[in-house]
Chain A
Amino acid sequence: MSVAEFVALLPVLAGLGGMVWLSSPVYVAICFGGILLVIAGWLAINGAEFIGIGLVIIYAGAVVVTFLFLIMLANQTGQAEYERAPNRPVLAWAAGILLFLMMLFSTVWREGVPGLVNRSQMQAQTGIEKITSDRRHVDQQNRAPFSRTARLSVELFSRFFWLIQGSALLLTIVMMNCVVIARLQKDRRGDTNDYSSD
């Protein structure tokens, strides 16, 4: 890990710490938004511009704003007892730390462990060569700035066309579902008013 990468990691660590330790839901949502922006910038710098912009638009622009809207609607100040008291802290931290160590072991530290298929063996079996940082740098210099995004768009509208159409259909179904549920609530409130007037 280079110094620049470590410096870029610091805001993420600070945001994650804020999310865990702050009790106010508004601050937690703002920390989540900050983490999203840092991750989006990180992805854009490393050559995944499309996903980075998608993160900003979908997550930070839509999901986090909806979170904040719901928090304001429910008047969540972080002062209630259930917002401040932790729920099963020992179990939560033990599960989180154990899972993090397992993930590190399976992705970063597994090189050289006997009995496990490591990355070099996987490269030999699959024939896929890992892109080193030097080669990636040369590739980025040789190509146009958005060539990776252009290749992604070609893949999206050729090999994965039906996958994208399926995702669009899923979004449409969810939108219709939300409208139906919202109208159900409205109709029930209308029924209640009618009965009370009787």
Chain B
Amino acid sequence: MTILVISALLFCTGIVGFCLRRNAVLMFIFSELMVLGAVVASVGYALLWAEEKGQILGLVLLTTAACEAAMALLIIGRIYRTKRTLDIKLLSSRGEQEE
């Protein structure tokens, strides 16, 4: 059960950090923390029920998270090069002005 509590802690801290921060990179780190919580939960259930399927789901989640990280970091880097800031509020207000 401890592993499920840890996964819940990871996911909820990810939610808190994602809502608290305004830096795009930090928001993305916290979203990765949420994915880690999901991975730990699936592996935790796999260990609890002695099933390999949960570990396979965790492996697929890891792959998806790696893909997501590659794409998101590329996009964030591109935004920084053009806008010279990572402040989400400023970026969204600039986007509204451009519209």
Contact = CB atoms under 8 A, between A and B. Distances in A.
Contacts of B26: 25, 28, 83
B71 A95 contact: no
Interface residues of A, number: 78
Contacts of A39: 6, 10, 36, 40
Given A89-B20, A108-B4, A54 B32 contact: no
Interface in B4-50: 4-6, 8-13, 15-23, 25-26, 28-30, 32-33, 36, 39-40, 43, 46-50
B13 A96 contact: yes
B36 A36 contact: yes
Interface of B: 1-6, 8-13, 15-23, 25-26, 28-30, 32-33, 36, 39-40, 43, 46-50, 52-53, 55-56, 58-60, 62-67, 69-71, 73-74, 76-78, 80-81, 86-90
A-side interface mostly: helix
A85 B4 CA distance: 32
A95 B16 CA distance: 7
Contact of A12 (B6, B11, B18, B60): B6
A182 B88 CA distance: 23
9 contacts: A42-B3, A51-B58, A51-B62, A59-B32, A66-B69, A88-B19, A89-B20, A131-B48, A171-B66
Contacts of A54: 59, 62
Nearest to B23: A83
A55 B62 contact: yes
Contacts of B9: 12-13, 16, 100
A51 B13 CA distance: 22
Most B CB within 10 A of own CB, among A63, A92, A128: A63
B89 A82 contact: yes
Nearest to B75: A181
B78 A181 contact: yes
Given A46-B3, A67-B73, A160-B56, A32 B29 contact: yes
Contacts of A148: 52
B67 to A, nearest CB: 4
A187 interface: no
